[in-house]
Structures are given as C-alpha cells and as structure tokens.
Amino acid sequence: MDKNIPLIRKLGAFIALSESELSFLASLHKRRRTFAVGSDLVHQGQPDQAAYVLDSGWACSYKLLENGQRQIVDFQIPGDFLGLRSLLLNVSDHGIEPVTDIKVTKICATDFLNALEHTPRLATAVLWAMSCDEATVVERLVDVGRRNSTERVAHFLLELGARLTLVGLGSTDGYACPLTQYLLADALGLSAVHVNRVLRQLREEGMVTFQNGFVDFDNYDQLVNFAGFEQSYMDKAGQLRY
Amino acid sequence: MDKNIPLIRKLGAFIALSESELSFLASLHKRRRTFAVGSDLVHQGQPDQAAYVLDSGWACSYKLLENGQRQIVDFQIPGDFLGLRSLLLNVSDHGIEPVTDIKVTKICATDFLNALEHTPRLATAVLWAMSCDEATVVERLVDVGRRNSTERVAHFLLELGARLTLVGLGSTDGYACPLTQYLLADALGLSAVHVNRVLRQLREEGMVTFQNGFVDFDNYDQLVNFAGFEQSYMDKAGQLRY
DNA sequence: ATCTGGGGCTGATCTATATCAGCTCAGTAT
DNA sequence: ATACTGAGCTGATATAGATCAGCCCCAGAT
C-alpha cells in the first residue's frame, strides 16, 4: 500500500491501520481534483456535503464578516482535512480557498459516515486528527488574544515550521512558505502594513527572515525563547499511542 | 432511560441512540464527582488520562502564557465535554477550572476508546460534538481578531445566550450568567477595566444589561444587528440529520 | 462593629497598532 | 519601450484599548 498518500501517512502515525482500513483510504484516493488559486473550494454559508483531503499545495479556511474584513482561521498543508467540520455540521460556517494551486481528494458525506460505522478505528483516528486541528485553532486564539504583534508573528512562523516538519516539509533551518504578508495579516488579526514592519524588525534582530517565499530561522533558539514557543503539544500529537 | 442526563440530551439531539448506546452512557453516569470554585480539574501540561462531562454548573478551559497572562479558550455549560482533546492528545495543552461549583462525570481513556470501537454511532456523535466545540472556538477567534471591543462583547453575550438556549437555560430575553468581568476579559482578550466600560456603554445604549449575575437583552434585534451575529451555524448544529 | 477582600466602577495617561499616503521593484501584458 | 499590477516597504498621524491609581459597595470573617 502506498505510504506516500499524505492522509495515510498522517492517520497511520496515530494508529496502526489494518489492511481493510488502508484499502478503504486508498480507494478514496481515486477521486482527485485540482483547484487553482482564486477558485474557492467551499463558500461560506453553502450547504455542504463534501470534505476534502489536501494532497499537495496549501489552502486556508477563513470567515468573512459583514464589514468585509476576514479572519483566516487556519492554513492547511498536505495531509490535512479541508472542511471536515462543515460535513458534520451540515452547513459550511467558513470558506476555504487555495493559497497555491492544489490537488485534493474529495470525500462525500455518505462515504465518510459509512466509513466511520464500519471501520471504528478509523473514526478514532479522525477524532485524533480533529483534536490536532482544534489545538492549532486554540493556539491561534492565544496568539491573537494575548501576544503582541512581534511575538505573534514569531510564534506563528515557529508553529507553522513545526507542523511542516512533521510532514517532512521543514526543519529548524526554515521552510518554503507561499504565504503573502496579506494572508499573514488576515490570519493574525493585524494589518498588512504592520506585518511588514514586524517582519523587518525580526529580520533586523537576526531571528527570522521571511523573504522570497522562504522562512529562514536565523537564530532558532532565540526565536523560540522570544516567542514563548512550547512545542510539546506538537511532539505528542505525532506520537503513536494506540 | 433518563433523558435528563445532559450528555444524553446533547448527543441524542444529533443521532437516535440505541438501547445499548443509551445504557453505556447511563453507566458512565455513575462515576460522578464534585469540584468547588478554585480547585482545577485539569492542570496545563499534566499528562491526562481522563475527560469529563459537565453535569451542572459552569467551567472554563484556558491556556497560560509564560508572562502570567491567560487566555480563556471557552466556557463550558451543562452537557459539554471537558478535556476531550487532551484525552486524545495524551497531554493536556490547557487547564480547566470551575467557574461555579460543578458536578461532573468522569470518563477514563480506556473506556472511551473502547466505546468508540464498539458503538461506532457514538463515535460519530462525539465527532459531531467536537465539531460544535471547534466552531465556538473559531467564533471566539473571529471575535478577538476582527471585532472591536464593543462588538466583541456583544457578540460573545449573544453566542453564549444561543448556546444556553439550546440546553434550555436561556432565551432571547436573557439568562443567568455567573461570569465575572475578569473572566470575560480573559476570554475576549481585553482588560477587565475595558470590559467594564464596554458593558456600561452597551447598557446605556439600551442593548444589553449584564449585572448581578444576569444578562438581560434589552433590545435583542438591535444587539444582533450591531454585533453582526449569525446564528445559522448554531441552529443547524442542533438539527437531527443522521 | 470593624476589618478585609473581591468585584465593580471611573478618570487620566500612555502606547501599540491601524490608517493614510505614497514609494520601489519585478513580472507581465500592450 | 511603456504601462500596469501586485507585493513589499516606509514615515506621519490618529485612535482604540491598556495601564495606573484609586474609589465604592457588599459579604463574610474577626
């Protein structure tokens, strides 16, 4: 079975998957689609009967306010679910758009609910994946609620690095990052102008450089210390325990 | 079977529970405990093998920062799970403390994981409950990231009201609310001083009055409009669909 | 009957961040 | 070769909300 399918790699890190579970996941993998930047996968408010798994590229989920502002809730990287919550809640309370061109695998509601009933261990794994998602949203809430702009940006870049490292797309040296300063601003509750200033400051202080689509950790330890970054919850999240 | 057990009422709103599922839930209900204000249920960082269901009273989950600040992630009301995430992630990334004296039912990890395997429909219901929790955290993120202090407080009071209404503890007239202005501040990323000012302003403008442990919606429609409150996601969350 | 502490309330001051306005530069379309 | 566009960058100014300092009120403890 192909261990390089991102979803299998991800769920497999939590539970040992049986043959039938693996083959179910692999069968899902047939239904693939491509979305280009600018073409939303899911619109906020749309009654939604499908979720996706992100195979390649980056996406983001966001909420729009009446006044035209938006809050990006989370960025998704390969292996992540897209719109899982809207599948259970019946209506999408958020929109999802690609950050880069992406490839996804579609999961329709009935298949998914069937799978939960017939492969209960898979249900546990999905529950675990959802716990991880929720943990990163909580982390974003703490960023926005209690850290000043500099700590906030620093912490965000570190957390993203840790997530990417788990799927082999980053290290403590840095990572390729297709986000614009505008996206960063929408995620962190700052203005783009201010994000720019903060990035400059972090660069001048020799901690991180985010330029030309790359995040370089110039002084990882100093940055971790400055941002008050606790990665324990991410370490554990990747552990096999069941 | 006693439909007044909060957890059964909650999960039962999502799926029709079978006899065996009901009896499993009822058997859980034997292991009850009481916690007084000031005695934390779960400490941040504690390796944790138990979650709880809140039977009566209010609690809150929070994260502490190094600098002594804290961000309250969510308040829990009767019927909510406490610490479900930390059960899956193995370590608690957050603390939980009672807001009032509370009664809880303990769920230990092994029981829970067993139940997921043997009553798969229950797993789906738990997944759904978790989706609801995540949706409220997302809503808090939007509050903190994109709404000014007045809209933020207004929106929060409305959302809390909607949640309480779902479990029969509130209406569009208002609800009993044991939160202090300090707790509100910690949840909304504001200072207690500012929360006080904002509450006064909302009261003087005739929209809500929060005093003496009661939230009174003086002009519900105006408040909904002012806060840009969308309750669609809550309506749907309570619908039977599976 | 007084003290104490927690919660709520308020004005004065300070500061972090938004907003505005405009610049550079690279890539791309004309 | 020229214009156009989007992203990044910067200084000047405005403002929302934090912080500080201190008040009142009430309930429970001494």
SS (H, E, C) A139-196: HHHHHHHHCCHHHHHHHHHHHHHHHHHHCCCEECCEEECCCCHHHHHHHHCCCHHHHH
Q: Which residue of B has its CA nearest to A65?
A: B228
**What is the pLDDT at residue A80?**
92
CB contact under 8 A, A127 and B123: yes
**What is the pLDDT at residue B163?**
92
Q: Whole-number Å distance, CA A191 to C1' D5?
A: 21
Name the nt closest to B151 by C-alpha to C1'. D16
Mean pLDDT of A208-222: 93
**What is the pLDDT at residue B22?**
80
Neighbours of B197 (CB within 10 A): 14
Task: Give 10-residue mean pLDDT values along chain B (242 residues).
Answer: 70 78 75 87 82 92 85 94 88 90 89 83 88 93 92 95 90 95 94 95 94 94 92 52 40
CA B83/CA B42 separation, integer angstroms: 8
- Lowest model confidence (mean pLDDT) among A75-84, A104-113, B70-79, B233-242: B233-242
Q: Where are the domains of chain B?
A: 6-132, 147-237
pLDDT at residue A28 tops 90: no
A235: pLDDT confidence band, cut at 50, 70 and 90?
A: low
**What is the pLDDT at residue B238?**
43
Enter the CATH code of domain B6-132.
2.60.120.10
Q: Which of the 168-227 residues on chain A come under 7 Å of nucleic strand D at their beta carbon?
A: 180-182, 192-193, 196-197, 199-200, 211
**What is the pLDDT at residue A3?**
60
Neighbours of B108 (CB within 10 A): 14
User: Among residues A53, A50, A32, A34, which one has the least CA distance to residue A42?
Assistant: A50
List chain A residues with CB under 8 Å of B84.
131
Q: Which residue of A has its CA nearest to B233?
A: A93
**What is the pLDDT at residue B199?**
96
**What is the pLDDT at residue B3?**
60
List chain B residues with CB under 8 Å of A94.
138
Name the nt closest to A183 by C-alpha to C1'. D7
**What is the pLDDT at residue B12?**
77
The domain covering A6-134 belongs, at the CATH homologous superfamily level, to Jelly Rolls (2.60.120.10)
Equal fold, A6-134 vs A147-237: no
Name the nt closest to A148 by C-alpha to C1'. C16
According to DSSP, residue B37 is labeled T
List chain A residues with CB under 8 Å of B49.
none
User: Among residues B27, B73, B57, B17, which one has the least CA distance to residue B169?
Assistant: B57
pLDDT at residue A215 tops 70: yes
- Residues A75 and A156 sit within 8 Å (Cβ to Cβ): no
CATH fold group of domain B147-237: Arc Repressor Mutant, subunit A (1.10.10)
Mean pLDDT of A55-77: 90
Which nucleotides along chain C are within 7 A of a protein C-beta? 7-12, 16-21
Average model confidence (pLDDT) across chain A: 86
A122: pLDDT confidence band, cut at 50, 70 and 90?
A: confident
**What is the pLDDT at residue A236?**
46
Paired residues of A47 in beta bridges: A91
**What is the pLDDT at residue A239?**
43
pLDDT at residue A234 tops 60: no
CB contact under 8 A, A137 and B142: no
